[in-house]
Structure 1
Amino acid sequence: MSNVVSVIIPYCEEFTPRLMLEDAIESVEKQSVPTEIHVIEDPEKRGPSWARNKGMQQANTRYIAFLDADDLWQPNKLEEQLTAMENTGAGLSVEGNPEDSNTFITNRINESISCPTSSVTIDTNKVDVQFRTELERFEDHLFMIEAALQSDVCLCPDIVTVRKHDESLSNDGDHKLWYQERLKLAKIIETEYPNISGLSDSIYSRAYYSKSRHHQIREEFPEALEYARKSIKHQIWWKPVAVIGLSKLGKYKQSISNIVNS
């Protein structure tokens, strides 16, 4: 396999220890295909979308792959993907079990498959997509969806090791931010991609469900019921239905407790 692959690694020391970055680089150097590594330092915390876009501007190779500084690649990761892309004609390759592009887009929107950004490899002859800097979360979801809309996708299992640690940006527990970013993602798909805009209902539903679950855990049952009902208006599925049942039961128990204690 003679193709050189540009590897883009966003890096901010506040979110990832430098030793993890060194491990990530080592996993690239162990690849069986030639690579060109671009570590994009982001001390001003402009975000991974900014860093990945800058890396793509620097790259001058046909194939570009992305690796987060806290993740690792399997030694044959790129070779497997380039072979699969050549055999299928796909312009996008990610980690996962094989499925067609339409199924992939639906499953990515439904969050029913996990495709780490560190698994993404693109063929720039077939895919011309940027990461949306207006999204603070789910920018990788949208990048993959937009790439899959431009070209076929092929999936390769077990090619990335995702490492969890406390400082990771993905461990941010800001519930309000994740809720708002889901709504922003849904709005983008609804307005910019009318052919798949019906799938935005799934994102809206998951946004409202996450809000309802947040309130239910805190025993704020009227608010939990409000958002769970909003969720099932967009899509009926078992999780918001369960929140409705549990919240009604919680309200009843609160009423009984108030009567007993009055």
Structure 2
Amino acid sequence: MSALVSIIMPSYNTAPYIAESINSVVAQTYADWELIIVDDASSDNTDEVVAPLCHPRELNCHPREGGDLSSKIHYLKNDRNRGAAYSRNRALREAKGRWIAFLDSDDIWTPDKLEKQIAFMDKNGYAFSYTRYEEMGEDGKPTGTVVGGPNRITKTGMYNYCWPGCLTVMYDREVVGDIQIAEIQKNNDYAMWLKICRKADCYLLDENLARYRKRGGSISNHSYTSLIKWHYKLYREAEGMNPVASLFNTGRNLFFGVWKKVKYVGMF
């Protein structure tokens, strides 16, 4: 595998935002990337928004055999709505790069995100890393809230809490290998980090290199009852733990969730 970065982008009804997300990839100072978008049978006009951005005249791409693919942007569609976990798994199976990065279709990166993160990992010999990010509203206006986390997350630390924001994570596939996760409805990014942390600790690049769009449907906006249910399902179904262990880890996760808000949210 080369130094190619495969960027995993699931999408579902994000037509108002996805162009900005794609353009933040196109604007990267690190040029060796491929963007794999898997649309989960959106009912809005996502197809119409994405099509011009994949046009050869605009991105210097050329179609390849086998569907609506280009040399740098791969746009795939699920036959029916299957969920973000299925879409991420499908994108990961398509990935060709050594480095795997994640960007949801309503979030954005700073132009130097990939360049800085790869340099950080290369210099230190890290196989798994994340960065700080800033929250923004649905309208794209920054809220001023910057979210960080521990400088190093071990396997135990990752089970304590899902510290990394999905839009900031990158891992080295040469070390971690190929990853597929259980198709749970929520917390599927966390299920992925729990698999990766068995192979490598996760390190923080202490810079704000991404912006997370906080929308009404975000998991962080749901009730504690919903959070408890989804965390329990993560440990019970994705991790295969027994009910007692699943309940213990759910409680542990909620405790460290409060700790994160106290120590790391708003850190500049």
Shorter-chain TM-score above 0.5:
yes
Which protein has the larger Cα radius of gyration, Structure 1 or Structure 2?
Answer: 1
Correspondence 1:75-154 to 2 at 5 A? 75-95=111-131, 96=148, 99-102=151-154, 105-111=155-161, 114-128=163-177, 130-154=179-203
- Count of aligned pairs between the two proteins: 199
Give the Cα–Cα distance (whole angstroms) in 2 for the partners of residues 180 and 165 of structure 1: 20
- Specify every segment of 5 or more residues in structure 2 that has no aligned partner in the other structure, as ranges: 42-79, 132-147, 260-268
Match of 1:24 among 15, 21, 26: 21
Shift in Å, 1:153: 2.2
How far apart, CA to CA, are the structure 1 residues paired with 2:115 and 2:4? 11
**Structure 1: gaps spanning 5 or more residues:** 193-197, 211-234, 239-262
Q: Return the match for 1:37 from 19, 35, 38.
A: 35
Q: What is the Cα deviation at residue 191 of structure 1?
A: 3.8
Match of 1:55 among 56, 68, 91: 91
Contact 1:137 1:178 (8 Å CA) reproduced: no
User: Do the aligned partners of 2:149 and 2:164 also contact (CA within 8 Å) in 1?
Assistant: no
Correspondence for 2:65 = none
Q: What TM-score results when the alignment is normalised by the length of structure 1?
A: 0.65
Identity of aligned residues (%): 26
Higher helix share: 1
| 1:171 positional shift | 5.8
Aligned AA (1:86): D
- The match for 1:11 is 11
Structure number with the higher strand fraction is 2
Match of 2:209 among 156, 159, 172: 159
| 2:213 partner amino acid | R
Change (3 A) 1:171 1:205: closer
Q: Equivalences for 1:154-233 in 2 at 5 Å?
A: 154-157=203-206, 158-166=208-216, 168-170=217-219, 173=222, 176-187=225-236, 189=239, 191=241, 203-205=249-251
* Higher relative contact order (CA closer than 8 Å, sequence separation 6+): 2
Indicate how the Cα distance of structure 1 residues 136 and 82 shifts in structure 2: closer, same or farther if over 3 A, else same.
Answer: same
Provide the C-alpha distance between the structure 2 equivalents of 1:52 and 1:107, rounded to a whole number of angstroms: 24
Residue by residue, what CA displacement relative to the aligned partner does 1:113-157 show, whole Å, maximum 9, x if unpaired? 642111111111011353533422222222112212202322113
How large is the Cα RMSD of the aligned pairs? 3.2
